[in-house]
Structure 1
Amino acid sequence: MKNIVIGSGPAGRLGSLELGKLGEDVTLIEKNHIAGTCLNEGCMVVCALTDITKFIDSNKRFNNYGFIKSQLEISYEKIVEKIVETQEMLRKLNQMENESFGNNIIYGEAHIEDDMVHVNNESFEYENLLIATGARPFIPDIKGSEFGLTNKDILKLDDVPEKLNIIGGGIIAAEIANIYSTLGSEVNILARSKFLKEIGENTREYVLKKIIPDVNIRENTNVVEAFKDKVLTQDGEELEGIPFFATGRTPNSEIVDGIVEINDDRTIKVNEMMKTNVDNIYAAGDVTGGYQLTPVARMEGITAAKNMAGYGNKVSYSCIPQTLSLNMEVSFVENENSECEEDDKSTIGFPGIGGPHAFWKILTGDTGFTEIEFDKKNNKINKINSISPSSVSDVAYLSYLMRMDYDLDDYSEFLEIHPSTDTNYKIIKNMWL
């Protein structure tokens, strides 16, 4: 075998697709289901459930306005059933797509020994190897941790929990809290430090007050013991509710332990070409750490594939856009390489516009909020935090502007489709230039 890819998540799947497109011989090995965490346990599951909670939120709003009278009856069991049914369809499509380029797919658990990949009692030689084995939920070392749920368990629940204690203070914690509080759970978030420290303070306050107001946030709180139906904090307080760990992820790097160089945090060490310290072994995606995002994993997988095929390529992590999938999307990006002096910074903030999916929020004043930090001297964007139904596309466009180091005038010919890109350049131009 010329190229072997282990792991079919976003990095491995896109890497093998790229190799196939380049005419390379490819074998893709997957332990469980094709498409990895994203489709089977992660963001696609969160997005599917968030589609439901957005509907519930809109229904409640319309009932309060008085022009719709309806009472929803939610079947969590049926929701899970349809998510699983959709996943099965997408797995088939993903497999067909990969095989359409002549790639061979093997299902089984691989291990590496004597410069060969072994799977299902067969052994394969390789010229190039891509490790894209992803990551798994990190479980903190506390007593009773075996009782805690993670994102891997969402589709195993029989019903919506009456009470839920989410341990963690990041994006996953916020998304899970939004889902289950909207579905009717009494939700606590127990964060070791500050909740949602990834986003700007004004944006964070909006999320707390307008999007997840029913969630009880406890910052600087450590859980010292978990039980099946409660947790115990460092202050000796018992909080009823099923424990749910949203405490980060740990890389599945054991497959190359002792073969390639491993960082202190157990991620695989790679260079900007996604190459390990072994010339013909590459790694991409969550197993390498860094930004654990599907688009970044895809980018890394494609970069690795091009280098495996002999086309020199380097990865860049400048101005990576991110989002929280809540009942209203929260998107953000920052130019970490900005050399803007403090005196040249200027920040403006403005409420969201009544565009698609926001018109009926005008009456309650919760159409969203966008805050943008500018480099006045160079007429460039340094940072964006945006809450709006269109923030995902808006911030993606603007992150490209930042990544390419364009100034705002270079974007003046951009023509948005109205009403969709509500916080994009035309609004920035009107409020800034």
Structure 2
Amino acid sequence: MMNIVIGSGPAGRLGSLELGKLGKDVTLIEKNHIAGTCLNEGCMVVCALTDITKYIDLTNRFNEHGFIKSQLDISYDKIVEKIVETQEKLRHLNQLENESYGNKIIYGEASIDGETVKVNGESFEYDNLLIATGARPFIPDIKGSEYGLTNKDILKLDDVPEKLNIIGGGIIACEIANIYSTLGSEVNIIARSRILKEISETSKKYVLENIMGDINVFENTNVAEAFKDKVITDNGDELEGVPFFATGRVPNSEIAEGTVELDSDRSIKVNEMMKTNVENIYAAGDVTGGYQLTPVARREGITAARNIAGYSNKVSYHCIPQTLSLNTEVSFVENEKSECSEEDKQIIGIPGIAGPHSFWNILNGDTGYTEVEFDKKNNKINRINSISPSSVSDVAYQAYLMRMDYDLDNFDEFLEIHPSTDSNYKIIKTMWL
């Protein structure tokens, strides 16, 4: 049976790998570069740049303490050059990995015509089709929006902009703001409502005061017009700086239009098995809307592949851990299925302690902050916000326990590697248990 996968981002790449592992005949079609937005334009680019800004932040701290004297000379074009070099190596490895399972990879722009996929002038009939074409940056209908940059342009910049206006208030907006502020830009964030709605107000306050303190934030503000070197807000203020749009993403679903059913937001409509309304067509990843996260896309791609191969599988969107990649990570998870009443909620928050990579922050009093919301009646955790260098691993572990519906007594069996975990364990194991 011929199985065709269109798109090689996290969903398509992992889906095709899973099909190959299960012994299925697979053709993977990719329009541009293997590994999709994540490696080539998205989170891995952000993470690479944030590695640089963490180093700058740490060096500045050591200089302030006086035991290291150094002066950094940052070369943005060299950073970009080395990111591109690393991307090329990873693309090569990703291709070899996929081909090692017997999968065929074709580069070109695909189109769907009934039971046939066309690419590079050839037609391929399929028994099953997985559409994993991802998403692209959403550009709002603003006069002058053509002047705006997006995450697709980060590696095209010749140098760090002197001034930057980031339009948007979500995770990507704040990550980009942190990167360029640390690299030397004067940065404004302009959000039409509040920024960082994903985390608690207390955690947000800590982020703005202790991590993003050099960034100007304009909430409940719209951009009326954009220019090459400034924007004008809806109240008439002129803010100098290159416009940068971080205003969400749009599914690349045009390929499926007229073939499968789309939702109102133009994403491909699927069920929990990643099936569309057409029996032998599946979709996974950002093109289906929902969580725009690499781990979720991977899980969806694998789920679709297993169902294609005849192994019934479903995706559960429950207790999904997320992180905001700044010079200190901000990680969070919420049990959206919790039925805890207001009177049974208990919120405990404490400053971070000297966990990994936090020792030298004690001198400045900014070791982080952790906030946990408990369900007193059912002895469960409802929500965690953790700001610390170890929060990514901490919260991923906590999210698993929450997803498995363990109660708080189970946390007492966890044994840390010292120094490894930050203050959420202190809260759970000492202040609560």
State the percentage of identical aligned residues. 81
The code of the aligned residue for 1:336 comes to E
CA distance in 1, matches of 2:57, 2:402: 34
Question: Shift of residue 53 of structure 1?
Answer: 0.3
Shift of 1:423: 3.3
**1:318-365 deviations in whole A, cap 9, x for unaligned?**
000000000000000000000111111111011111122110000111
Q: How many angstroms apart in 1 are the aligned matches of 2:174 and 2:101? A: 39
- One-letter amino acid of the counterpart of residue 195, structure 1: I
Structure 2 equivalent of residue 110 of structure 1: 110
Deviation of 1:284 (Å): 0.3
- Does structure 1 residue 51 correspond to structure 2 residue 55? no
- Contact conserved, 1:394 with 1:423, CA < 8 A, in 2? no
TM-aligned CA deviation for residue 412 of structure 1: 2.3
Cross-structure match for 2:34:
34
- Partners of 1:9 and 1:134 within 8 A in 2: yes
- Structure 1 contact 355–422 (Cα < 8 Å) conserved: yes
Q: Map of 1:18-97 to 2, 5 A cutoff?
A: 18-97=18-97
The answer on 1:311 being equivalent to 2:318 is no
The answer (yes or no) to whether the contact 1:414–1:425 under 8 Å persists in 2 is no
Inter-partner Cα distance in structure 2 for 1:249 and 1:412: 41
Q: Does the CA-based 8 Å contact 2:351-2:423 persist in structure 1?
A: no
Q: Which runs of 5+ in 2 are unaligned?
A: none
Runs of 4+ displaced beyond 3 Å: 423-427
| Deviation of the 1:281 alpha carbon | 0.4
Conservation of the 8 A alpha-carbon contact between 2:169 and 2:196: yes
Name the Cα RMSD after superposition.
Answer: 0.8
The answer to whether the aligner puts 1:177 opposite 2:177 as a matched pair is yes
Secondary structure of 1:172's match? helix
For normalisation by structure 2, the TM-score amounts to 0.99
Q: In 1, are the aligned partners of 2:188 and 2:215 still within 8 Å (CA)?
A: yes
Residue in 2 aligned with 1:388?
388
Q: CA deviation at 1:296?
A: 0.3
* Matched residue, 1:348: 348
In structure 1, C-alpha distance between the alignment counterparts of 2:98 and 2:417, rounded to whole Å: 33
Number of equivalences: 433
1:191 aligns to 2:170 (yes or no): no
Matched, 1:338 2:348: no
State the one-letter code of the partner of 2:290: G
- In structure 1, what residue type is equivalent to 2:65? Y
> Structure 2 CA distance, aligned partners of 1:357 and 1:336?
31
Match of 2:233 in 1: 233
SS at match of 1:105: strand
**Aligned to 1:412, what secondary structure does the other structure show?**
helix
Letter aligned with residue 232 of structure 1 = I
Q: Is the 8 A contact 2:350 2:369 kept in 1?
A: yes
CA offsets per residue over residues 233-268 of structure 1, 9 Å max, x none? 111111110000000000000001011000110000
Deviation readout 1:262-286 (Å, 9 max, x if unpaired): 0110000000000000000000000
Aligned mates of 1:92, 1:431 — CA distance in 2: 49
Which residue identity lines up with residue 290 of structure 1 in the other structure? G
C-alpha separation in 2, matches of 1:321 and 1:169: 19
Instruction: Answer yes or no: is 1:245 the counterpart of 2:242.
Output: no
C-alpha distance in structure 1 between counterparts of 2:378 and 2:4, whole Å: 46
CA shift for structure 1 position 411: 2.9
**Deviation string, structure 1 residues 140-192 (Cα, Å, up to 9, x no partner):** 01111110000000000000000000000000000000000000000000000
